[in-house]
Structure 1
């Protein structure tokens, strides 16, 4: 570890990766609506975080276009943040040359779970048993 590095246990690292990193650590919130309101109100830290996220999404879209060898039929934006006209328009501005960008705002987890239940109940799919154990554990040398 570097001279100024602080040791963290696995739980802290996982929390940073899944719960308290990103917007929360930079701005104190994970609510995109609040974040965009703060950006509109002149909050510079929020603007920088928002701009960086849109930049990273654009880079990810571009990298996927490369692995698809340019054969991209469409770019689909989903989730709660797709309600943001700013996010959608900026990604259209930067990525529409790859393929048309379409937003499907909202979160569809409940519909997906209902569809899964229907497949199990109809016999099209076997139910899965979730133990709560992680499916992947990083080597301890990454955390030490």
Structure 2
């Protein structure tokens, strides 16, 4: 249980910068914290790399890339990722952690005939 807690809640940005609150990290960036900038840039790079990797194996043209969840609240990281992946597809940033609600809403639109299902 300790290992799971450590990996899920104490790793990543929290382990490196002591917080998971991206507003605090962005405050560090505004104050010129070079370590925070390096870590944040590395995180953006890893996200962009994962998007690029998925784009190649999906074997389809992408309609868009959607950044959502907590990371999407950060304009700074959103801009970095967008710059890195914008040649793959347009990037849409939807702040929030309501992915399941968005999926359910999409299903309702398809089932009610308001939208056509896309096949991937």
TM superposition score category, shorter chain reference: 0.7 to 0.9
User: Which of 79, 89, 104 pairs up with 2:79?
Assistant: 89
1:25 aligns with 2:15: yes
TM-score normalised by the chain length of structure 2: 0.77
User: Cα deviations across residues 19-71 of structure 1 (Å, max 9, x unaligned)?
Assistant: 00011110110101101111111222211211111011001100110111252
1:14 aligns with 2:4: yes
- Residue 89 of structure 2 aligns to a residue whose secondary structure is coil
Residue of structure 1 in register with 2:63 after alignment: 73
Could you tell me which runs of 5 or more consecutive residues in structure 1 were left unpaired when the two chains were aligned. 1-10, 116-144
Aligned residue pairs: how many?
Answer: 104
Q: Max radius of gyration: which structure?
A: 1
Q: Which has the higher helix share?
A: 2
Q: Which runs of 4+ in 1 moved over 4 A?
A: none
Could you tell me which runs of 5 or more consecutive residues in structure 2 were left unpaired when the two chains were aligned. 105-120
